[in-house]
Structure 1
């Protein structure tokens, strides 16, 4: 029995899994505790703030009792943890609907937007960065390199919501090619996906280009060229996989930022996702819904980071599995 338990710990992949799983558990606990403390750190009475100054004291006390806010703080924390394990995230102060039902209705729209935007950013940035690295290697085509660098810097610096407004004005208001807002049909996905994907695509393309230029100067690439291997074999089989390590790391960070960026973009396009939900809930002081959305966004970012760590370990085990 002891040998069976210690075997995973002795294996590099076992230690790697235990480290990452432990970090994930600690991060989730910190996130859950912060989300719980949110409603208690707000100045004043959150129930009174949600119901308004004209609500009777009896109604405020009844709502506090329904939300469990009349219990001791430690009891509220235990009830909150118990609710998370059973899928009970509380009840909306305004609509009276379970928070889990609200999130279940809105989450798919946000996930679709984030996944499509990230896929578009990767599909555009990887071949674009590789192509410009090949075209500008060894200091060749300086004007082309300058144009690519300047354009990518400008695109990466534009906030998503400003880009979204500009896209709406050009392609919806003036040209009328796509809907202004809403989630109705494939054409309604075009502008929000492009607005979210453009900045990450520009950043990733620059990273892929820089990493590819570094790889192309490596000795094994010179050896591959000396063997007269086809160019596509040198670039796609030898250079690209080794150039993607940094891009994967940055891509995971960008995906987390992209998920957070859906908050503003969804409000520009009246997209029925979590981004518009959290803004409306903050304005209405519906704190249980805000807590639920914060948890979903936080867990999403943590899961993305875990996936990135696993991808890096598979791509380059020496950099991750043998650490610590």
Structure 2
């Protein structure tokens, strides 16, 4: 989104940028006017997003149930062990409800979810909600902290490079930035994690590993390598987008006019450049940040972090269907909520994104 500059009568023909949501003449823009029905655009936005979340949850329920049906092998055989007899395996299948028709199993699954019950683990005989609650803090820590680090680093970095290379200046910086970020962005997360382990844990011994270094004494330091492996790629991707958007915004007339008022660079960039590049940046960032959840699951496996990623892998190997289904549901809804948060932030920055036509 780019703003426009309104002409203001005054000495010397000075101009000032219009207030957010106004036309060059100072009148409210069509996008900023209240809906014709007299309701706040946030009400319609909340209704659409609520329906979207319901649809997402329904799709995840069906997907999570069908996924476990495609996993080869019989959970009863895996649970009973190699020495179990046919009768013992069959009795175990009956106790687990695996002997019932697939539509009956699905109906029972829906009934459990309606009661707020994610089921009981085949392997551990514990509620799935308890298993997820024990593992979720590890995944949430590296994912949420990683998202915050990406936004805090990528946006200022991309803006700085965009400002420094404005109008073809410092081509060496533009070339070096593109080459370095392109190279780092092309490295898969698990390979980046391995490189960081070799350099900083096994090499110089600067940072600990998961495990055995993960304990009460390791504290937050033990999360540095997993988070670093997770954020390097997204930082490179988003900073390149921000650099491009910064270059576009800096060429607009209202920025040239604001520059003529002899504003400090900080005031100019924070007030007139940053708000106008965030819409495009956050739209793309929402997809990237949601994808970081999947990256977090892979990173967990590299560092043996006892989060949802390693939990899903173990559940697949054990054919522990309820655990797989519960973790897929939780991860899918977390990704949906991240996208919802991005949409809310976009709405606060630019109310035009709240309209159904601009979604």
Aligned to 1:82: 111
Indicate yes or no: 2:100 matched with 1:66.
no
Cα distance in 1 between the residues matched to 2:283 and 2:95: 45
Residues 221 and 238 in structure 1, CA contact (< 8 A), matched pair in contact too: yes
TM-score, with structure 2 as normaliser: 0.83
Is the CA contact 2:286–2:339 (under 8 Å) kept in the aligned structure 1? yes
C-alpha distance in structure 1 between counterparts of 2:343 and 2:94, whole Å: 43
Give 3-state SS (helix, strand or coil) of 2:61's partner: helix
Per-residue CA deviations over 1:274-298 (Å, capped at 9, x if unaligned) read 1111112222222221111111111
Q: Distance in 2 between matches of 1:80 and 1:322?
A: 34
CA distance, structure 1, for counterparts of residue 71 and residue 206 of structure 2: 45
- Does residue 163 (structure 1) correspond to residue 192 (structure 2)? The answer is yes
Which residue of the partner structure matches residue 3 of structure 1? none
Counterpart among 256, 259, 282 of residue 225 in structure 1: 259
User: TM-score normalized by structure 1?
Assistant: 0.91
Partner of 1:190: 224
Q: Relative to total residues, which structure has the larger helix share, 1 or 2?
A: 1
Aligned partner of 1:4 in structure 2 is none
Aligned equivalents of 2:74, 2:315: Cα separation in 1: 16
Describe how 1:254-265 pairs up with structure 2 within 5 A: 254-265=288-299
Pairs aligned (count): 318
1:157, CA displacement in angstroms?
0.9
**SS at the partner of 1:59?**
helix
2:68 alignment counterpart? 39
With 30-39 and 101-110 compared, the bigger mean Cα shift is at 30-39
Q: Give the alignment partner of residue 29 of structure 1, picking from 58, 63, 77.
A: 58
Alpha-carbon deviations, 1:35-59, whole Å to 9, x = none? 1122333455343345455432333
Unaligned runs of 5+ in 1: 1-6
Contact 1:49–1:285 (8 Å) recurs in 2: yes
2:168 to 135, 139, 164: 139
In structure 2, C-alpha distance between the alignment counterparts of 1:66 and 1:90, rounded to whole Å: 14
Is 2:145 the counterpart of 1:116? yes
Q: Distance in 2 between matches of 1:38 and 1:143?
A: 50
- Of 230, 236, 250 in structure 1, the residue corresponding to residue 284 of structure 2 is 250
Deviation above 6 Å: which 4+ runs of structure 1?
A: none
Q: Distance in 1 between matches of 2:356 and 2:48?
A: 11
Report matched runs for 1:273-284 at 5 Å. Answer: 273-284=307-318
Contact persistence 1:181–1:271 (CA under 8 A): yes
Q: Contact 2:75–2:318 (CA<8 Å) still a contact in 1? A: no
Look up the SS of the partner of 2:357 in the other structure: coil
Aligned-pair CA distance for 1:112 = 0.5
Tell me the distance in 2 between the aligned counterparts of 1:195 and 1:144. 25
Gaps of 5+ in 2: 1-35
